[in-house]
Amino acid sequence: MEVGKKTRDGEIVLQGIAASRGIGIAPVHVVARGFSAPEVYPIRDVDAEKARFRVALEKTKDQLRELQERIAGISGEEEGRIFEAHLMMLEDRAIVDRVNETIENRRQNAEHALYAVAQNFLEAMRRVPDPYLRERTADIEDVCQRVLRNFSHEEKQTNPDDKHILVAYDISPSDTATMDRRHLVGFATEMGSVNSHTAILARSLGIPAVVGLQDAVLDLQALMPAIIDGYSGKLILNPTEETLTRYRQLQSDKEKVRYELEAQRDAEATTTDGRKITLSANIELPSELPLVQNSGAKGIGLYRTEFLLLKGEQMPGEAQQAEIYTNLAKALSPDPLIIRTLDSGGDKLPVEPLTEPEPNPFLGWRGIRVSLDRPNMFKEQLRAILRASAHGHVAVMFPLISGIREVRKAKDLLKESMDELAADDVPFDENIETGVMIELPSAAIIADLIAPEVDFFSIGTNDLIQYTVAADRVNHRVADLYRPTHPAVIRLIKQTIDAGAQHGVWTGVCGEMAADIQLTPLLLGLGVEELSVGPHQVPRVRRAIRALSHAECAAMADEAIRTPLSFDVLDLSTALASKYYPELLD
């Protein structure tokens, strides 16, 4: 992979992996590992900024000397010497001079100059083989944080809420879900893959993203003008006027297509030969409700409650959950709100963190297993969902089901929750729809046995693929094996749909495949009745559905089922997509 390419005009092109489509044009904001980046802004008086740096250094030295004396008095001279190394770092002329040079060359505030110098140094240390040196990064981070806290912020001159492209070593899924999308035009990371949870959320939220940019954080200057190209996987720094003009035109062309798609927001997702598909939306946060409503989606097909339940040190109680679910149900009514119960590993539970990591968390204590093992916590969520069911069309869905016993135990706890609410005269829907996620091969294989127990299936293709082909989707070493069109995956999907149809149980897809318009012909042909995608993806999927003939898709899917190679299956589906909506394909 070509990491960086510098043109004669100073333009730098970093090539990564396209993770979420879109174009963003804005200055970069850099966040590296270790500690949070301070705000960055341009300065006029270099000498005054250097003086601010000196004052912060001296204040930090005084604090460290005082801390050293206090610790020495309590625990002895040896422990107090820990801070001698910290003081030596602050007096290291190489570091001090480098910060002053950075202030002068970049003409940016001293806090960010210190942060940039420290992060370059830290990244270099993290890459050395010596474990002792790698462990010293914590000391450097501690010292830098102390200095940053001692800066005066009176001279801040810019608005931190300006539009920006975020560049980071890595970004967690929860950080992605909670980003302020009013000001973020895209992000780029050194780590990650196209199938990571972070990339999936970026696509769902319509945030242009590039991942796998090796060493992008090193020597990257904050506020550099940049373009993020989520179509080709490029981050372009210091773009020339010619490049800017080209990308602004591309951005304009894509916007025209988007406006045309949004003009059809009230159109039914019906094929040319009359088969109606329910097109709903996936959400992570209640704040995404306006996006769902503006997209024209028919309700929410997957509300991931992990971001609500696990964002703080304490899980929200029944009343707080019920209020949030109820507000969503009322706003969506009469369209459905399908709430997936907690789908997380035990290591994420704030009330009961695991004392040691599991040897293989993907095959461990997660999903419905955690809920069934902690019935009080589970019933609290179930009662909250039931309370909301009195105010709209609410359904409940259980994740990571591997067999019938789990379904029946979950339904038993749901019945207990109903009895408890009834005893307190709390209204709820006694006929609330109950569904399960089909994301394990074991569940797909016995879908005919599970179907009589539930009202609907929702196929989570991300995990179904992963567990079927035994390839972690975020592991670059086996990413080539993670194929949505693997014949085994296609057969499991078809088997699930057919089993549901035999028992009057409808089947939807809420995984990444649902939003991939290259695969829309295949999913329709296999018999899927509902597709749930990110709000930003709804218009494209609607347009794809309305352009296709279900009969033609079914004939293609019959051929695909008999096709031995995943690439050939993909070609069959892509051929129909290219025939009927080439303008949507990149």
So which residues are the catalytic ones? 197, 510
Nearest to 172 by CA among 315, 14, 310: 310
Angle at 197 (CA atoms; ends 439, 210), nearest 5 degrees: 140
Find out whether 126 is annotated in a ligand binding site: no
Token pair in block for residue 53: 């740096």
Residues 299, 329: contact at Cβ < 8 Å?
no
Residue 464 bridge partners (DSSP): none
Distances (CA, A) of 188 to 147, 165, 205, 368: 28, 8, 15, 33
Find out whether 439 is annotated in a ligand binding site: yes
Nearest to 537 by CA among 512, 572, 558: 512
Three-state SS string over 457-518 comes to EEECHHHHHHHHHCCCCCCCCCHHHCCCCCHHHHHHHHHHHHHHHHCCCEEEECCHHHHCCC
Find out whether 383 is annotated in a ligand binding site: no
Pair type for strands 23-31 and 164-168: parallel
Which stretches of 206-317 are DSSP H helices?
Answer: 241-262, 289-295, 306-309
The dihedral built from the CA positions of residue 224, 227, 230 and 232, taken in this order, carries a sign that is: negative
Which strands make up the sheet holding 23-31, listed edge to edge?
A: 4-6, 12-15, 234-237, 225-229, 23-31, 164-168, 184-189, 209-211, 17-20
Residue 250 CA, chain-centre distance (Å), reads 26
C-alpha 482/C-alpha 462 separation (Å) is 9
Q: How many helices (H) and strands (E) does the chain have?
A: 25, 17
Nearest to 166 by CA among 233, 228, 102: 228
Residue 311 neighbours by CB distance under 10 Å: 14
Nearest to 442 by CA among 487, 399, 400: 400
Burial 359-397, CB ≥16 within 10 A → b, else e: eeeeebebbbbbbbebbebbbbbbbbbbbbbbbbbbbbb
Find out whether 340 is annotated in a ligand binding site: yes
Residues 106, 221: contact at Cβ < 8 Å?
yes
C-alpha 135/C-alpha 375 separation (Å) is 41
Torsion of the alpha carbons at 18, 24, 28 and 32, rounded to the nearest 10? -30
C-alpha 243/C-alpha 8 separation (Å) is 13
Residue labelled with tokens 């259980």: 398
Find out whether 463 is annotated in a ligand binding site: yes
Find out whether 275 is annotated in a ligand binding site: no
Residue 116 neighbours by CB distance under 10 Å: 26
Which positions make up the binding site for Mg(2+)?
439, 463
Which positions make up the binding site for phosphoenolpyruvate?
304, 340, 462-463, 473
Which positions make up the binding site?
304, 340, 439, 462-463, 473
